[in-house]
């Protein structure tokens, strides 16, 4: 799954095109392996400021 961005790299604008993949992008299959580890790490380390986050990992 890749994110869609405009030509300036900003998401959610009127001009939308498929972004070029970055060499560090993970395929969905690999992300499925990594995401639970990151989520567990984040859950074990709450923010000092109390920020809960608004974004999916």
In a domain, 29, yes or no: yes
Give the per-residue pLDDT at 11: 54
In a domain, 53, yes or no: no
Residue 39 belongs to domain spanning = 4-44
pLDDT, one tens digit per residue, over 21-44 is 888 888 999 999 999 999 899 888
pLDDT score, position 30: 93
At 48 the pLDDT is: 82
Q: Measured between alpha carbons, how far is residue 8 from residues 2, 4, 33, 48 in Å?
A: 16, 11, 31, 33
| Ranges 18-22, 29-33, 50-54, most confident | 29-33
Q: Between 13 and 47, whose confidence is greater?
A: 47
Q: Is residue 57 one of the residues assigned to a domain?
A: no
Q: Give residues with Cβ within 8 angstroms of 39, minimum separation 6.
A: 57
Flag whether pLDDT at 17 surpasses 80. no
Is 39 a domain residue? yes
């Amino acid at each position: 799954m890749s994110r869609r961005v405009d030509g300036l790299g900003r998401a959610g604008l009127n001009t939308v095109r498929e972004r070029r993949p970055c060499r560090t992008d993970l395929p969905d299959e690999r992300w499925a392996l990594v995401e639970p580890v990151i989520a567990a790490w984040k859950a074990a380390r709450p923010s000092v400021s109390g920020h809960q986050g608004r974004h999916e990992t």
